[in-house]
Amino acid sequence: MAELFLGFTSGPGGFRKYVVIKRILPDVRDNEQFERMFLDEARITAAFNHPNIAQVFDLGQEDDGLYLAMEFIAGQNLNQITSACLRRKQQIPIGFTLSVARDVCMALHYAHTFTAPSGEPSPVIHRDVAQKNIMVTYDGVVKLLDFGIAKAKGSLERTSAGTVKGTTGYMSPEQVRGDKLDGRSDLFSVGVMMHELITGARLFAGKDERDEMVKILEAPVPWPSHVAPHVPEGVSKVVMQALERSREKRFANGRDMARAIEAVAGRLLMDSDHRAQLMRELFSERMAATRALLESAEGTANGAMVDKAKKALRGDDGPYLPERVDDSTPQNGVSAVPRKPARRAPATGRQPAVADTAKTKEPPSKLNNALWGLLLLAILAGGGYGAWRLAVVLNANVEPDPTEIRKLPTSAAPALPEFREATAAKRDGGTGVAEAETPASDASTQVVNADVETPLGPKEGRNRGGTKAERTSEPRVRGNGKLTLVVKAENVDVYEGDNKLGRTPMANKVLSAGTHTLHIVGSDGRRRPLEVKIRPNQTTRFVLEDLP
C-alpha cells in the first residue's frame, strides 16, 4: 500500500541522519481504510523503543498525502537472505535462524506487553510475522518491521466480519478462523518461519490462499528433525511447541520462547558479529550499492555509480523456498497431531546426487556392508546425530575405498589449535595402528578422528626407542584424489587460501595430489588449520568430533 524513499535530515557541522520516507501509493490515497492503517502504524510504532523493532520518527502530511519518517535499515530481509543462500546452493546456518528467531521473540514480547507512557497497558499483536517483515542489518542486528495491520487497543481500523488480515501461509489457526487474538498467534507465525528456514521448504504452501488456510487448520506438520536430520531434537521440539494448533499448548509468551531457543541452541547460537560476517559474504555487492546511494545523497557519487547501485538493489531476489513434498496423508482429511514422515535429506535447493545406475544394479560390496554395520553400531550406542553425519558421507556417491576406517581419540585443544592428518604404520608384522604425530615443539597439537590408513615410507613411523624417525623427502605426486570431511559438532566452511572449497558435510571434493593446508571456519568465525595429504586415485576421509 506504500512506496519508500531514501531521505536524510541535515544540520550544522556536517550533521546528517538517513531515514526512510514511507508514503501511501497514489492510487490508494483516497482509500480511507489504507489511511487508517497508515495512521495506526505511525501511532503504534512511534511509542516503541526496542533494539529489534524498526523505529518511526515522524508522521506528517504534504500536498501529496501522509508520510512516515522511519529508521533507515541497511540490510536484507529473510526472504532475500534465503534466496542468496539458495543461489549459492547452501543452507542458512541453523545458528543464524535460531538467533534471529530468538531476537524476534523478544521484540514480540515487548510489543505484546507494551505499556504506554501513561502507564496504561497497550498490548500490540503484530499479525503479519513472516520472512518479508524481518530484516537483518549488515551489522547483524535483527529488526522486526511493518506493524501496518497490527491489532492494538484504540486502533482506528476495524477488521470487517468475514475477513482476515495477514500473510497466508504464516497465519495462526485462530487468525484463519477469525477468532480473538493474543500474542501466542504471533508465536505460531515465528514457528512457521523457523520450520521453513531450518528445513529449506515452505510449510503451508498451497495452490491459492484458501488452500493455504485449510492446510494451516488441518495439514500434518512434520518434525523438523525428521525432514532435516541435522536439526537437534531439542530445536525441533521448540518449533513444534510453537506450532501447536491449540494456543494453550504453545509458549505462554515471547520471552519464554526466546529462553527455550537459547536453552536448546547452546553453542549453535550466532551473535551479531557472526551474523554480520554471513551478511558480508552474501551481500557484498548490495552493501557497495547502498554505500553508493548514500554517497549520492552527499553529492560525492556520479550518475553512473548511482544507476549501477539502483540496478543492484532492484535485482531479482529469487529463487525462493520450494514447496515441501509431503508424503503423508491426514486421517479422514484432518490431522491435529503432527505426524512424523520418513526421514529424507534436508531441502536446500540443491539437486540430489544422481546415483550411477550401473552401480546400483550390483550387489553391495563387503566394504559397504562393513560401513553400514559401523553406522548401525553408532545408532545403537546412542550417537544418532553422529550416525546421520556418517550416513551423509556414505550415501554421497563415495567411490569404494579399500582402506579401513580407523578413529583416534580427540584431545583437548588450546586457543590456536593445529590439526594434523593421522597416519598408520605396520610395525614388525603388526596390524598397523592409526596414530597422529605431534610436533615436539607443540605439545598441544589437536588430534582428530581420521578415516584413512596409509602405508608409510621406509623411514616413516617410530623407532623402537620411542623417538621420531627422520622422514624421507616426499617425492612429487601427480594426479588427483578426493577429500571427504565431516564435522559432527556443526556445519563449517572449508577454505584453501582465499578459495572456499565448500561447506561440511563435504563428500568427494576433488583436489590435486599432495599436501594441502586447509582452514576450517566455524560459527565463531575462527580459522583453524587442517593439513591433509591427498593421494592419487584415493579418497581421504576426516571425521572431526568437535571444534576446539
Q: Which residues are catalytic?
A: 128
DSSP code of residue 6: E
Cβ partners under 8 Å of residue 252, min gap 6: 184
What does the alpha-carbon distance between residue 167 and residue 170 come to, in Å, rounded to a whole number? 6
What does the alpha-carbon distance between residue 266 and residue 254 come to, in Å, rounded to a whole number? 19
Selection from 445, 444, 378, 449 nearest residue 408 by Cα: 449
Whether the Cβ atoms of residue 76 and residue 283 lie closer than 8 Å to each other: yes
Its sign, for the CA torsion 169, 172, 177, 181, is negative
Give the rounded distance of the alpha carbon of 521 from its chain centre: 15
- DSSP, residue by residue, 458-498: TT-SB-TTSSBPPPPPPPP--SEEEEEEEESS---EEEETT
Grid coordinates in use for 104?
Answer: 524476534
What does the alpha-carbon distance between residue 114 and residue 140 come to, in Å, rounded to a whole number? 25
- DSSP, residue by residue, 325-356: ------GGG---SPP-PPP-PPP-SPPPPPP-
Whether the Cβ atoms of residue 23 and residue 66 lie closer than 8 Å to each other: yes
DSSP code of residue 443: T
Indicate the residue type of 396. A
